[in-house]
Amino acid sequence: MENLINEENLDEIRELIESKIANIPGHYILCGALGSLLLSAYLDKTGKKQAASFIGKLSIPIIGIGLAKYKDVIKSGLEDNFESVANGAENLVNSIKTENSSVHN
């Protein structure tokens, strides 16, 4: 039997997964991961240990995907905030220079 995941097609698999989840918001993915953890705990309490183990192990990659999507959102938000802070600081410096030049005249 041939191994379907190897070095040659790893990039293709990654691109396929990214294209499938591109339109799903990160908080939906994280809510799904939380739901699978809760379902796993419920199944464990009701005595269905194998099903609980499977569902619990399934939640770990889902959490990873959700956090990766949130990382991109947070990174772009931080870049936008940094630009606005830098522009605000530049405006403040310019207004102080203007005030100082008008006071000395």
- Taking the C-alpha atoms of residue 41 and residue 26, their distance in angstroms, rounded to an integer, is 23
Phi, psi of 9 (to 5 degrees): -110, 15
Domain boundaries, the chain: 13-104
Residue 15 has pLDDT above 90, yes or no: no
pLDDT confidence bin for 86, thresholds 50/70/90: low
23-46: pLDDT as tens digits: 887 778 888 889 999 999 999 999
47-77: pLDDT as tens digits: 999 999 999 998 888 888 888 777 766 666 6
Q: What SS3 state is found at 66? A: helix
pTM check: above 0.85: no
pLDDT confidence bin for 85, thresholds 50/70/90: low
Where do we find the tokens 């630009």?
83
Where do we find the tokens 């953890």?
37
